[in-house]
């Protein structure tokens, strides 16, 4: 037993001296390693996947329908702002801030389709049935007001969102509150 105590004392002394000399020994702590790894994954990950609020998720998915064909035109931007302010019951300033944040998160045009697909899968449980129906209605309203209607990629996107959110149970509260 005295040999084991001697070995443990030697090990603790060496670790203490290494720490005092400035050598990082944090890698020995598995809990610290897990926290550091989790933070690194969150820090280096795509910020679109950390969105939790149903309002922001819906705004990203609605704006995504416009971004599937490329950059937003002024007409599309005005229509999205109008949809945000009427559906979400917010002021014009709040709607423009929501549009700006959603546009920032969907900044890489070559990744929009993949980002939206992953976001929809991850956020399936965060939106109630009424919120999903309201979001789909906004998508259809956006397509109805454009001069050429929904393109093939946009129609596929709306159908995929509709099938993904189709089996949601009804919630008792109103959407977007």
* pLDDT computed for residue 13 by the predictor: 94
For residues 60-83, give the mean pLDDT.
88
Tell me whether residue 105 is in a domain.
yes
pLDDT digits (tens, 9 = 90+) for 155-169: 888 888 888 888 655
CA distances, 27 to each of 10, 12, 21, 44 (Å): 19, 15, 16, 20
Tell me whether residue 176 is in a domain.
no
57 and 28 in one domain? Answer: no
86 and 8 in one domain? Answer: no
Q: How many domains does the chain have?
A: 2
Tell me whether residue 127 is in a domain.
yes
Choose among 146, 138, 135: nearest CA to 73: 146
Range of the domain at 139: 53-164
136 and 72 in one domain? Answer: yes
Choose among 114, 106, 161, 152: nearest CA to 133: 161
CA distances, 133 to each of 48, 119, 138 (Å): 22, 17, 9
Choose among 176, 50, 43, 39: nearest CA to 115: 50
Tell me whether residue 173 is in a domain.
no
153 and 116 in one domain? Answer: yes
Q: Which residue has the higher pLDDT, 177 or 45?
A: 45
pLDDT digits (tens, 9 = 90+) for 87-145: 999 999 999 999 999 999 887 777 788 888 888 888 888 888 888 899 999 988 887 77
pTM of the model: 0.73
């Amino acid at each position: 037993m005295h040999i084991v105590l001697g070995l443990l004392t030697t090990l603790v002394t060496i670790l203490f001296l290494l720490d005092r000399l400035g050598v990082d020994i944090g890698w020995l702590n598995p809990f610290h390693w897990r926290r550091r790894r989790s933070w690194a994954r969150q820090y280096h990950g795509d910020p679109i996947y950390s969105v939790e609020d149903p309002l922001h998720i819906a705004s990203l998915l609605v704006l995504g329908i416009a971004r599937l064909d490329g950059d937003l035109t002024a007409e599309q931007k005005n229509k999205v702002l109008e949809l945000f302010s009427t559906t979400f019951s917010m002021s014009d300033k709040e709607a423009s801030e929501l549009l700006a944040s959603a546009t920032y998160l969907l900044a890489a045009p070559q990744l929009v389709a993949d980002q939206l697909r992953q976001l929809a899968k991850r956020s399936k449980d965060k939106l109630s049935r009424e919120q999903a129906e309201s979001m789909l209605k906004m998508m259809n309203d956006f397509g109805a007001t454009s001069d050429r209607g929904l393109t093939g990629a946009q129609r596929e996107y709306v159908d995929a969102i509709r099938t993904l959110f189709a089996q949601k149970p009804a919630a008792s509260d109103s959407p977007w509150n």
